[in-house]
Amino acid sequence: MHMGEIRGLDRPGRQMTTGEMSREHQVSLRTLRFYEDRGLLHPLRDGVSRLYSNHDRLSLRFILRCRRLGFTLSQIHDMLDKQLFEGETPGLDLSRDKKVEAQITHLERRRREIDEALTELRRYE
């Protein structure tokens, strides 16, 4: 029994270290620790080192998806809490969240602002 087995390197679906989480999801170690500090991730501890479960992995993917959609970490935190409260696996219920509609409105306004800026910038070319 060597470290590879203990840390889950050759058993997908088991515990992962920060380094593995970082590489697999293309996020920095700092980001993983920051999300933990903000209560978005809750890795276990192997002494002083972090160990991420399969649930943590699903949470991280949900976080990254929501981030691409332009939600703040605070909003993402609420959504994860709500999912936990309703006993769900993270990442399934975006369609039932009120925040979706508000975010669409928000992004449409951002888009109009960018379009106006582009129109003006192209006049300067």
Total interface residues for a copy of itself by CB under 8 A: 26
First to last CA, the chain: 65
**Of residues 36 and 93, the one with the C-beta less far from DNA:** 36
Q: How far is the CB of 87 from DNA (least distance, A)?
A: 26
User: Can residue 108 be called a binding residue for a copy of itself (CB under 8 A)?
Assistant: yes
d(CA 18, CA 4): 14
**Other CB atoms within 10 Å distance of the CB of residue 60:** 22
- Asked whether the beta carbons of 17 and 49 are under 8 A apart, the reply is yes
Q: Residue 102 binds which entry of a copy of itself, DNA, none, with Cβ cut-offs from 5 to 8 Å by kind?
A: none
**What residues line the site for DNA (CB under 7 A)?**
3, 17-20, 22, 28-31, 33-34, 48-50, 67, 72-74
